[in-house]
Amino acid sequence: MIKLTIPGKSMGKQRVKVYNGHGVTPEKTVNYETFIKQLYIVQYFRVQLHGPLAMDIKAYFQIPASASKTKRADMESGKIRPTCKPDWDNIGKIVSDALNGLAYEDDRYIVGGTVCKWYSQDPRVEIEIREV
């Protein structure tokens, strides 16, 4: 099993932009994927899972400073969940693409999983990958 935490604000995979017939991945996407790769290499150098995999992702979003005490408590307890961007599927896509060739041979081996969005005072993305 692999557990990885990406500190800071979560990001979703951005669409490739096409210029003069050539696809260009947006710089923010490239930078975030590179950050994920670097964190993985530091913690799990040469560790790769094999076979069918499950990936669970929890994205924690910053609680807005403008939230009342009551609303803040509801956000921290999970009664109120984020409905803001990025979309849950784009969070899963950027994480699974970033770990291609590192945590697993290819993301086609991911056969199940979840992406959940939560609020926290400590924004981050927590990833858990396991063989099934």
Q: Which domains does the chain have, with CATH numbers?
A: 2-131 (3.30.1330.70)
**Around 63, how many Cα atoms within 13 Å sit in the side-chain half-sphere?**
18
**Mean pLDDT value across residues 56-85:** 96
Residues 68, 75: Cα–Cα separation, whole Å: 10
Contact 60, 125 (CB under 8 A): yes
Which residues have C-beta within 8 Å of that of residue 9, sequence separation ≥ 6? 61, 62, 123
pLDDT digits (tens, 9 = 90+) for 91-132: 999 999 999 999 999 999 999 999 999 999 999 999 999 999
pLDDT band, residue 19 (cuts 50/70/90): confident
Residues 6+ apart with CB under 8 A from 121: 62, 63, 76
Q: Indicate the helix (H) or strand (E) that contains 61.
A: strand 53-62
Mean pLDDT of the chain: 96
Segment among 13-22, 66-75, 78-87, 95-104 with least mean pLDDT: 13-22
